[in-house]
Protein backbone atom coordinates (compact mmCIF):
# COMPACT_ATOMS: atom_id res chain seq x y z
CA UNK A 1 0.00 0.00 0.00
CA UNK A 2 2.93 2.31 0.59
CA UNK A 3 3.88 1.90 -3.08
CA UNK A 4 0.27 2.63 -4.08
CA UNK A 5 0.40 5.76 -1.94
CA UNK A 6 3.42 6.81 -4.03
CA UNK A 7 1.37 6.35 -7.26
CA UNK A 8 2.77 2.96 -8.31
CA UNK A 9 0.09 1.57 -10.68
CA UNK A 10 1.58 -1.95 -10.70
CA UNK A 11 1.38 -2.07 -6.90
CA UNK A 12 -2.30 -1.10 -7.01
CA UNK A 13 -2.96 -3.82 -9.57
CA UNK A 14 -1.18 -6.32 -7.29
CA UNK A 15 -3.32 -5.20 -4.33
CA UNK A 16 -6.47 -5.69 -6.36
CA UNK A 17 -5.40 -9.12 -7.54
CA UNK A 18 -4.46 -10.16 -4.01
CA UNK A 19 -7.63 -8.96 -2.27
CA UNK A 20 -10.38 -8.80 -4.90
CA UNK A 21 -11.71 -12.35 -4.46
CA UNK A 22 -11.76 -12.01 -0.67
CA UNK A 23 -13.49 -8.62 -0.82
CA UNK A 24 -16.15 -9.91 -3.25
CA UNK A 25 -16.77 -12.98 -1.07
CA UNK A 26 -17.22 -10.94 2.12
CA UNK A 27 -19.46 -8.44 0.31
CA UNK A 28 -21.54 -11.25 -1.19
CA UNK A 29 -22.14 -12.64 2.29
CA UNK A 30 -23.05 -9.17 3.57
CA UNK A 31 -25.40 -8.07 0.77
CA UNK A 32 -26.60 -11.47 -0.47
CA UNK A 33 -26.10 -10.87 -4.20
CA UNK A 34 -23.01 -11.77 -6.21
CA UNK A 35 -23.47 -9.14 -8.93
CA UNK A 36 -24.02 -6.40 -6.37
CA UNK A 37 -20.98 -7.62 -4.42
CA UNK A 38 -18.83 -7.36 -7.54
CA UNK A 39 -20.05 -3.79 -8.15
CA UNK A 40 -19.42 -2.87 -4.52
CA UNK A 41 -15.92 -4.38 -4.69
CA UNK A 42 -15.14 -1.94 -7.50
CA UNK A 43 -16.38 0.86 -5.27
CA UNK A 44 -14.16 -0.39 -2.43
CA UNK A 45 -11.06 -0.36 -4.61
CA UNK A 46 -11.95 3.06 -6.01
CA UNK A 47 -12.13 4.33 -2.41
CA UNK A 48 -8.79 2.71 -1.64
CA UNK A 49 -7.27 4.41 -4.66
CA UNK A 50 -8.82 7.81 -3.84
CA UNK A 51 -7.63 7.52 -0.22
CA UNK A 52 -4.12 6.35 -1.09
CA UNK A 53 -2.48 9.69 -0.28
CA UNK A 54 -3.97 9.75 3.22
CA UNK A 55 -3.13 6.11 4.08
CA UNK A 56 -1.13 5.83 7.30
CA UNK A 57 0.35 2.38 8.04
CA UNK A 58 -0.78 2.28 11.69
CA UNK A 59 -2.29 -1.17 11.46
CA UNK A 60 -2.44 -3.99 8.94
CA UNK A 61 -3.64 -3.07 5.46
CA UNK A 62 -6.34 -5.75 5.56
CA UNK A 63 -7.85 -4.16 8.67
CA UNK A 64 -8.06 -0.80 6.88
CA UNK A 65 -9.43 -2.46 3.71
CA UNK A 66 -12.16 -4.41 5.51
CA UNK A 67 -13.19 -1.27 7.39
CA UNK A 68 -13.90 0.22 3.97
CA UNK A 69 -15.68 -3.01 2.94
CA UNK A 70 -17.88 -2.82 6.06
CA UNK A 71 -18.76 0.83 5.38
CA UNK A 72 -19.56 0.21 1.70
CA UNK A 73 -21.72 -2.82 2.60
CA UNK A 74 -23.59 -0.82 5.26
CA UNK A 75 -24.28 1.96 2.76
CA UNK A 76 -25.51 -0.57 0.18
CA UNK A 77 -27.83 -2.28 2.66
CA UNK A 78 -29.31 1.09 3.66
CA UNK A 79 -29.80 1.97 0.01
CA UNK A 80 -31.44 -1.39 -0.73
CA UNK A 81 -33.76 -1.01 2.26
CA UNK A 82 -35.00 2.31 0.88
CA UNK A 83 -35.62 1.02 -2.60
CA UNK A 84 -37.53 -2.10 -3.52
CA UNK A 85 -36.39 -4.06 -6.55
CA UNK A 86 -38.75 -6.19 -8.60
CA UNK A 87 -37.39 -9.02 -10.67
CA UNK A 88 -39.34 -9.77 -13.84
CA UNK A 89 -39.02 -13.34 -15.02
CA UNK A 90 -39.42 -13.86 -18.72
CA UNK A 91 -41.06 -17.25 -19.29
CA UNK A 92 -39.33 -17.57 -22.68
CA UNK A 93 -35.94 -17.26 -20.98
CA UNK A 94 -36.79 -19.85 -18.37
CA UNK A 95 -37.86 -22.65 -20.71
CA UNK A 96 -34.41 -23.58 -21.98
CA UNK A 97 -32.23 -22.42 -19.15
CA UNK A 98 -30.76 -24.46 -16.34
CA UNK A 99 -31.89 -23.89 -12.75
CA UNK A 100 -29.75 -21.36 -10.88
CA UNK A 101 -29.68 -23.42 -7.67
CA UNK A 102 -26.77 -25.89 -7.69
CA UNK A 103 -28.84 -28.56 -5.94
CA UNK A 104 -31.55 -28.34 -8.59
CA UNK A 105 -28.92 -28.47 -11.32
CA UNK A 106 -27.43 -31.63 -9.86
CA UNK A 107 -30.84 -33.23 -9.39
CA UNK A 108 -31.90 -32.51 -12.96
CA UNK A 109 -28.56 -33.40 -14.56
CA UNK A 110 -28.77 -36.00 -17.31
CA UNK A 111 -26.13 -38.02 -15.55
CA UNK A 112 -27.51 -39.18 -12.22
CA UNK A 113 -24.09 -40.49 -11.29
CA UNK A 114 -23.01 -37.49 -9.21
CA UNK A 115 -21.28 -38.64 -6.03
CA UNK A 116 -23.43 -38.17 -2.96
CA UNK A 117 -20.48 -36.67 -1.14
CA UNK A 118 -20.49 -33.72 -3.58
CA UNK A 119 -24.24 -33.31 -3.07
CA UNK A 120 -23.79 -33.38 0.71
CA UNK A 121 -21.02 -30.80 0.51
CA UNK A 122 -23.10 -28.51 -1.71
CA UNK A 123 -26.14 -28.94 0.53
CA UNK A 124 -24.13 -28.23 3.69
CA UNK A 125 -22.58 -25.15 2.09
CA UNK A 126 -26.02 -23.87 1.17
CA UNK A 127 -27.36 -24.50 4.69
CA UNK A 128 -24.37 -22.74 6.29
CA UNK A 129 -24.77 -19.75 3.93
CA UNK A 130 -28.46 -19.51 4.90
CA UNK A 131 -27.55 -19.68 8.59
CA UNK A 132 -24.91 -16.96 8.21
CA UNK A 133 -27.43 -14.81 6.29
CA UNK A 134 -29.88 -15.17 9.18
CA UNK A 135 -27.46 -13.38 11.53
CA UNK A 136 -27.83 -9.64 12.08
CA UNK A 137 -25.39 -7.54 10.07
CA UNK A 138 -22.88 -6.94 12.89
CA UNK A 139 -22.74 -10.63 13.82
CA UNK A 140 -22.43 -11.62 10.15
CA UNK A 141 -19.55 -9.18 9.57
CA UNK A 142 -17.73 -10.37 12.71
CA UNK A 143 -18.10 -14.04 11.71
CA UNK A 144 -16.94 -13.36 8.15
CA UNK A 145 -13.86 -11.48 9.32
CA UNK A 146 -13.06 -14.09 11.97
CA UNK A 147 -13.61 -17.28 10.01
CA UNK A 148 -13.05 -16.32 6.38
CA UNK A 149 -10.43 -13.61 6.76
CA UNK A 150 -8.69 -15.12 9.83
CA UNK A 151 -8.61 -11.75 11.56
CA UNK A 152 -7.76 -11.48 15.25
CA UNK A 153 -10.21 -10.03 17.78
CA UNK A 154 -8.11 -6.84 17.83
CA UNK A 155 -8.26 -6.45 14.05
CA UNK A 156 -12.00 -7.15 13.95
CA UNK A 157 -12.57 -4.64 16.76
CA UNK A 158 -10.60 -2.00 14.88
CA UNK A 159 -12.37 -2.77 11.59
CA UNK A 160 -15.83 -2.58 13.15
CA UNK A 161 -15.09 0.29 15.52
CA UNK A 162 -15.86 -1.72 18.65
CA UNK A 163 -13.96 -2.91 21.73
CA UNK A 164 -12.31 -6.33 21.81
CA UNK A 165 -14.67 -7.42 24.59
CA UNK A 166 -17.68 -6.36 22.49
CA UNK A 167 -16.33 -8.42 19.55
CA UNK A 168 -15.89 -11.48 21.77
CA UNK A 169 -19.46 -11.10 23.00
CA UNK A 170 -20.75 -10.51 19.46
CA UNK A 171 -18.99 -13.62 18.15
CA UNK A 172 -20.24 -15.68 21.09
CA UNK A 173 -23.84 -14.67 20.34
CA UNK A 174 -23.26 -15.31 16.62
CA UNK A 175 -21.93 -18.82 17.32
CA UNK A 176 -24.94 -19.56 19.53
CA UNK A 177 -27.30 -18.31 16.80
CA UNK A 178 -25.51 -20.38 14.15
CA UNK A 179 -25.62 -23.47 16.37
CA UNK A 180 -29.36 -22.98 16.85
CA UNK A 181 -29.95 -22.38 13.14
CA UNK A 182 -27.91 -25.43 12.10
CA UNK A 183 -29.17 -27.83 14.82
CA UNK A 184 -32.13 -29.26 12.85
CA UNK A 185 -29.90 -30.07 9.90
CA UNK A 186 -27.08 -31.53 11.93
CA UNK A 187 -29.31 -33.58 14.25
CA UNK A 188 -32.05 -34.77 11.92
CA UNK A 189 -30.74 -33.98 8.45
CA UNK A 190 -33.72 -31.74 7.76
CA UNK A 191 -33.36 -28.41 6.05
CA UNK A 192 -34.68 -25.60 8.27
In the chain, domain spans: 1-91, 119-188
Whole-number Å distance between alpha carbons of 70 and 66: 6
Whole-number Å distance between alpha carbons of 128 and 175: 12
Q: Per CATH, which fold does 119-188 belong to?
A: Arc Repressor Mutant, subunit A (1.10.10)
What angle (nearest 5°) sits at the alpha carbon of residue 10, between those of residues 4 and 15? Answer: 60
Low-confidence ranges of the chain (pLDDT < 50): 86-96, 106, 108, 110-114, 117
Same fold, 1-91 and 119-188: no
pLDDT in tens, 26-82: 998 888 888 999 999 999 999 988 888 888 887 788 888 998 998 898 888 887 776
CATH number of 1-91: 1.10.1740.10
- Total-model pTM: 0.56
Amino acid sequence: MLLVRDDDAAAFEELMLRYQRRVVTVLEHLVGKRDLAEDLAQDVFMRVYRSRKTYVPGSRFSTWLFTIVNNVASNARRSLARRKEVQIINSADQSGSQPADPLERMATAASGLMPTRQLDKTEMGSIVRQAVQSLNERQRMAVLLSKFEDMSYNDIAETMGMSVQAIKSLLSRARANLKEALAPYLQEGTVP
